[in-house]
Structure 1
Amino acid sequence: MLYPSITLAPMNILFKRRYSLVPHLLAGCLLAGCQPAPPQHFQGYAEGEAVRVAAQQSGVLTSLAVQRGDTVQSGTALFSLEHAQEAAALAQTTAQLQQAQAQAANLDTGKRAPEIAVIDAQIASARARQHLSQTQLVRQQALQARGFISAEALDQARTQLTSDTAQLHELEAQRSSARLPGRPDERRALAAQIDAARALLAQNQVRLAQKSQTAPVSGPVDDTYYRVGEWVAAGQPVLSILPPANIKLRFFVPEMRLAALHAGASVYISCDGCGAPIAATVRFIAQQAEYTPPVLYSENNRHRLVYMVEAWPAPKDATRLHPGQPVSVTLR
């Protein structure tokens, strides 16, 4: 069957005219900058940086005063580990310090009064013997002059007097020495011993204090990692606290809107159930960009290039947010 060619001519002309406009439309689109309209809202989520509270010493967990979800204030007792050994060491060093201090006091005051009284009695006895020896010597001299005794007997009397006089002087010297404080070398040695005992006492006090921990910040208990009776290694967190000041927002800004942001800029956050918008301050803008799918670097796709931005709300407003909660961010 033959069809007249005249019926196809208008359709061919129409087809050519319609599709001949495509290059012109594309060119006009490129000249006008056919890019997506800059977004006014950015999607993100809330994130919390919890404070993990650990024990500096290892041991068995004996008490856990808080549970997950409890709100604590700074200084609240949180947990404690068994500390019998640390308490015994503290008692030992306390006694050692007291002993060294008592020895130093003894050196500073000399001998006690009863000890000095004993020496005084010995001096009195020695003085009496000296007096007796002196009297006997005078008698022996008189007898020897008359020829009743030998010279040897006189020498013995003189020797006895000399011996008794020397013993008296020795006891008097002992009494003077007993009233003096300890020698400088002994006193310095005891002072060093006292300093060492104090340092060891302070060390044991710290060790005992580290067995119990208090809350370093205020906020809700985010999680607990051990139960009473379990062994806790030194440095391992027992629980974590999420203070409102540590709740921040993370959102992603396209490359075309990055110039509108800077550290210190204000943004507004809205979320489901948050009520009125929440003001936040930008503190961090990532230096490295990332792509949203599809990962294709080209001039036409650079609107997919985004930068992560972090902003912090005021602590009083941060209590309205929950980590992981999606939010919508608007530039001020």
Structure 2
Amino acid sequence: MLVVLAFAVAITGCTRAQDEGWQGYAEGEFVYLASSQSGTLVQLAVRRGQTLSAGTIAFALEAVNETAALEQAKHQLDATRAQLADLMSGKRAPEVNVTRAQLAQATANARKAALQLARDEAQYRAGGIAKAQLDDSRAQADASAAQVRELTNQVTVAELPGRAQQVAAQQAQVDAARAAVVQAQWRLDQKRVATRQAGVVYDTLYRSGEWVQAGNPVVQMLPPQNILVRFFVPETTVGSLTTGRSVVIRCDGCAAEIPATITYISNEAEYTPPVIYSNERRSKLVFMVQAHPSVGDAPKLHPGQPVEVRLR
């Protein structure tokens, strides 16, 4: 009779422990919105408790210097592109026409010099002129012909684009200017910070007009997927739990149980309350377990709120 009574007491104790569930609390893993650039806060577009969608502008910093730097980089890019186009096109048409006119004049002079040389050669054979005059005529004809060849080559060169090495060097300048535009645009974009995911504004840490150092958070957000529950399971029970297992959460003021999924089980034990370890006190040995509710149910919980967790 005593054995049966003891067994009944043991069963009742286990049932009561299971009915009571495991105690824990809701926790939030906050997201802090900050800029990589320093500046004066000129726009704080959100307030505490506001629910934001992804892509919403949260705050903006003064950006006069960054805007000017972007304009300068764009003008520099335009200049390098124009220089590259100039190298690729060769000389302008009016400049080429000037050289062609000079070539036409030199051709006429060469023709005249050739005719004069022919007359002087005939006169020299007849004994009408001296050898020195013939030499002068021959030199003038050679010089005129050389000038024609020079101007012909100048016309050809004027119509050519820049040398391959010059074009490659200028193309590198264009690429560098384009990269400078990208950098300037990035710095300007950093002055306006938007949310990357939906969530609730938990707190704002600066006011408009205050100086914000680079990297300092301005807005503290809590996305629903970052809300979780931490509860503590006895050492005698933790072995039966696995990640992915379903549980339900109960809390004061909750209209219904909130389903959740175990996502983490600690590998390290802790004591609650702290005691000296002994085989007799193993019931005080607990493991921390985390469970995430669905995104739709997560806003029903608040960080720091006491909860009770049971197996589903």
Match of 1:12 in 2: none
SS at match of 1:37: helix
Please identify the structure whose Cα radius of gyration is greater.
Answer: 1
The question of 1:272 aligning with 2:248 is answered: no
Q: Distance between the aligned counterparts of 1:32 and 1:79, measured in 2?
A: 64
Residue 49 of structure 2 is aligned to residue 69 of structure 1: yes
The aligned residue for residue 171 of structure 2 is 191
The one-letter code sitting in structure 2 at the alignment partner of 1:99 is: A
Q: What is the alpha-carbon distance in structure 2 between the residues aligned to residue 31 and residue 73 of structure 1? A: 57
Tell me what 1:11 maps to: none
- 1:75 aligned partner, one-letter code: G
Deviation at 1:172, TM superposition (A): 0.7
Displacement, 1:89? 2.2
| CA shift in 2, pair 1:75/1:294, >3 Å | closer
Q: CA deviation at 1:233?
A: 1.9
SS where residue 175 of structure 1 aligns? helix
TM-score by length of 2: 0.89
Structure 1 stretches of 5 or more lacking a match?
Answer: 1-24
2:159 matched residue in structure 1: 179
Work out whether 1:324 is the aligned partner of 2:304. Answer: yes
Q: What residue number does 1:257 align with?
A: 237
How far off its partner does 1:76 sit? Answer: 0.8
Which letter does structure 2 place at the counterpart of 1:322? H
CA distance in 2, matches of 1:137, 1:289: 114
1:133 is matched with: 113
What CA RMSD, in Å, does the superposition of the two structures yield over aligned residues? 2.6
Return the offset for 1:43: 1.7
- The Cα offsets for residues 100-131 of structure 1, whole Å up to 9 and x where unpaired, read as 22222222222221111111110111112112
Is residue 2:277 matched to residue 1:297?
yes
Aligned to 1:223: 203
Question: Please, which runs of 5 or more residues in structure 2 have no aligned partner?
Answer: none
1:36/1:303 contact within 8 Å kept: no
State the Cα distance separating 1:34 from its structure 2 match: 7.9
Matched residues in 2 for 1:144 and 1:137: separation? 10
Counterpart residue identity of residue 297, structure 1: Y
The alignment's TM-score, normalised by the length of structure 1, stands at: 0.84
Matched, 1:240 2:220: yes
Structure 1 distance, partners of 2:148, 2:278, is 114
- Matching residue's letter, 1:118: V
Shift of 1:322: 1.1
Aligned with 1:214 (options 164, 179, 194): 194
> How far apart are 1:36 and its partner, in Å?
9.5
Aligned residue number for residue 13 of structure 2: 37
1:3-25 Cα deviation digits (max 9, x unpaired): xxxxxxxxxxxxxxxxxxxxxx9
Secondary structure of 1:283's counterpart equals strand
**CA distance in structure 2 between the aligned counterparts of 1:33 and 1:292, rounded to whole angstroms:** 25
1:119, 1:175 within 8 Å by CA — same for their partners in 2?
yes
Say whether residues 1:160 and 2:168 are aligned partners.
Answer: no
Q: Which position in structure 2 is the counterpart of 1:287? A: 267
The match for 1:110 among 74, 79, 90 is 90
Q: Once the two structures are superposed, what CA deviation does each residue of 1:153-200 show, in whole Å capped at 9, x if it has no partner?
A: 222122111111111111111001111121111122112222222222
The answer to whether the aligner puts 1:312 opposite 2:288 as a matched pair is: no
Asked if 1:88 corresponds to 2:64, the answer is: no
Count the aligned residue pairs: 307
Corresponding residue for residue 149 of structure 1: 129
Q: Tell me the amino acid that sits aligned with residue 192 of structure 1.
A: A
